[in-house]
């Protein structure tokens, strides 16, 4: 079979895998290859047991794998063959040297750029898919022009806005696709080529173009705004708990203002995920680099409120349970950073587990998809932890339940049965406000929602 074009994606992660699977699904005329340095990950992409859980992903991969979607470890061959290369390697927070704990660690993308340069035998379009600091494209261009030859690289920025758990829907019906380019004739030509690919299934009015720096910055700004919204609603939860206001009612009244909108107003134990913290701290670091300390402080506050929200949750558990958790068994309902994913990166459950273990509590963790990741996250930590998939078995004999993740299944559990199996007085701390608090109280639980007055029997 001959294909119209060869596309390559370097990095078969949460972003690279689903994004390229969708492109292959919608564009059968293109050959799409996804490569990764991790052979185990590629083997999983080639198996029936995909490396990430994402509703709808199986179907898309099954329809395309072996047809025009290929997962491989042959990076050199992939680079040689491709006309368009997406770079989707991870850009975690730097853990060493200047900017440690704040700046993006760019070693993987730089290595990738050098690999592309080394193996390329023809001109190519390079698409930044990963989230990078503003002006990364400039550094990339510098690397690409560091050797004398006739090969030309056009670098585009095409940030991914998908959210985990809804990735397939987000890819199939995106709010917008953003493509940033240099405003040179060849930059604009490259941009048009990428526009054409997305136009195979995305309405043209949803495909927006901009200069390359605006595109890079827009991704950071969008994530900063989203996280800020959750931090904002969460910042009112303590006040609600003190004043008998109810955060759900407040969010509803606020969100009905069409200027504000009603999405992303669910108060919680705190936001997590691989992107928000990393991207905001990256933004803060950039601002400080440009001596914009007021702006840096403003956005750092969004992260600080989130850290406080997690700590506040632990302190609420401690004070409700008579100021001691030593040897008490606490069952965490959920460990993933949000529902419908097995991903636990930056999950509030990690911080909360560690803090509860500091208090000498015993933990039982249940989650339908994230138990393997939870075990890795808590590996080597002092304390007693068990991992049980069945929530009834997990909560049996526990003193308290703390809801960490808004999994649908938790809403319809038989809480009478659960109550009977628990130590009394039995406590529920609903870190996601997903349960029927009044009903739980009537069953006999002492109920502590987020941002609402507690319902207690004492």
Task: At 379, list the tokens.
Answer: 């590996």
What lies within 8 Å, CB to CB, of 79 at 6+ separation is: 8, 85, 115, 116, 119, 120
Residue 386 as a binder of ligand UDX (CB under 6 A): the answer is no
Q: Which of 5, 59, 1, 60 is nearest to 32 (CA)?
A: 5
**Dihedral-angle region of residue 448 (phi above 0 means left; psi in -120 to 50 means alpha; beta otherwise):** beta
Nearer to ligand UDX, 89 or 194 (CB): 89
Distances in whole angstroms, Cα of residue 262 to Cα of each of 97, 251, 252, 256, 276: 41, 8, 7, 6, 20
DSSP state of 327: T
The correct pick among 180, 273, 391, 451 for binding ligand UDX (CB under 6 A) is 273
Q: Pick the catalytic residue: 9, 240, 275, 331?
A: 275
**Which of residues 54, 105, 128, 160 is near ligand UDX by CB under 6 A?**
160
422 half-sphere exposure, CB direction, 13 A CA radius: 28
Contact status: 119 vs ligand UDX (CB under 6 A): no
CA-closest candidate to residue 137, choices 87, 192, 79, 185: 87
Q: Which residues, numbered 334-373, are part of the site for ligand UDX (CB under 6 A)?
A: 337-338
Of positions 111, 204, 252, 420, contacts ligand UDX by CB under 6 A: 111
Which residues are CB-neighbours of 147 under 8 A, at least 6 positions away? 117
Taking the least distance from each CB to ligand UDX, the nearer of 88 and 446 is 88
Q: Specify whether 275 is catalytic.
A: yes
Cα 231 vs. chain centroid, distance in angstroms?
A: 16
Of 177, 212, 265, 402, which one interacts with ligand UDX (CB under 6 A)?
Answer: 265
398 sits near ligand UDX (criterion: CB under 6 A): no
Residue from 38, 47, 145, 243 touching ligand UDX (CB under 6 A): that is 38
Closest contact distance (angstroms) between CB of 449 and ligand UDX is 14
Phi, psi of 48 (to 5 degrees): -80, -10
Contact pattern from residue 188 through residue 227 relative to ligand UDX, giving x for each residue in contact according to CB under 6 A and a dash for the rest: -----------------------------------x--x-
Q: What is the CA radius of gyration of the chain?
A: 24
Residues touching ligand UDX: how many (CB under 6 A)? Answer: 40
Closer of 89 and 207 to ligand UDX (Cβ):
89
Positions marked catalytic: 275
* Residues at the site binding ligand UDX, with contacts judged by CB under 6 A: 10-16, 36-38, 41, 88-91, 108, 111-112, 130-131, 160-164, 223, 226, 230, 264-266, 268, 271-276, 337-338
């Amino acid at each position: 079979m001959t294909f119209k074009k060869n596309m390559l994606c370097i990095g078969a992660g949460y972003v690279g895998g689903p994004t390229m699977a969708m492109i292959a699904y919608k564009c059968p005329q293109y050959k799409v290859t996804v490569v990764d340095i991790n052979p185990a990950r590629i083997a999983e992409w080639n198996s029936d047991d995909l490396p990430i859980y994402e509703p709808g992903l199986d179907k898309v991969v099954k329809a395309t794998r072996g047809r025009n979607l290929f997962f491989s470890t042959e990076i050199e061959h992939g680079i040689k063959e491709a006309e368009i290369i997406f770079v989707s390697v991870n850009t975690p927070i730097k853990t060493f040297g200047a900017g440690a704990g704040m700046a993006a660690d760019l070693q993987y993308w730089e290595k990738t750029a050098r690999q592309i340069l080394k193996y390329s035998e023809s001109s190519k379009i390079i698409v930044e898919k990963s989230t990078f600091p503003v002006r990364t494209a400039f550094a990339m261009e510098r690397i690409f022009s560091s050797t004398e030859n006739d090969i030309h690289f056009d670098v585009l920025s095409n940030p991914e806005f998908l959210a985990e758990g809804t990735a397939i829907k987000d890819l199939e019906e995106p709010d917008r696709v953003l493509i940033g380019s240099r405003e040179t004739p060849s930059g604009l030509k490259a941009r048009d080529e990428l526009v054409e690919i997305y136009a195979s299934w995305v309405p043209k009015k949803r495909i927006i173009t901009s200069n390359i720096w605006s595109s890079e910055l827009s991704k950071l700004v969008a994530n900063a705004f989203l996280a800020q919204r959750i931090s904002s609603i969460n910042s009112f939860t303590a006040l609600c708990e003190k004043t008998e206001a109810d955060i759900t009612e407040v969010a509803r009244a606020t969100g009905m203002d069409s200027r504000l909108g009603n999405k992303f107003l669910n108060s919680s134990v705190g936001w997590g995920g691989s992107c928000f913290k990393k991207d905001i701290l990256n933004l803060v670091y950039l601002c400080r680099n440009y001596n914009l300390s007021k702006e840096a402080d403003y956005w750092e506050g969004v992260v600080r409120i989130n850290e406080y929200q997690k700590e506040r949750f632990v302190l609420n558990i401690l004070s409700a349970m008579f100021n001691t958790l030593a040897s008490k068994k606490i069952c965490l309902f959920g460990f993933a950073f949000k529902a419908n994913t097995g991903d636990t990166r930056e999950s509030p459950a990690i911080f909360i587990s560690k803090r509860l273990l500091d208090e000498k509590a015993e933990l039982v963790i249940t989650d339908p998809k994230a138990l393997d990741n939870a075990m890795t996250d808590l590996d080597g930590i002092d304390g007693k932890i068990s991992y049980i998939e069945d929530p009834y078995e997990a909560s049996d004999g526990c003193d308290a339940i703390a809801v960490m993740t808004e999994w649908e299944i938790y809403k319809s559990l038989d809480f009478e049965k659960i109550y009977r199996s628990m130590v009394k007085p039995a406590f529920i701390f609903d870190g996601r406000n997903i349960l029927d608090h009044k009903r739980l109280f009537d069953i006999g639980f002492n109920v502590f929602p987020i941002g609402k007055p507690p319902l207690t029997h004492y």
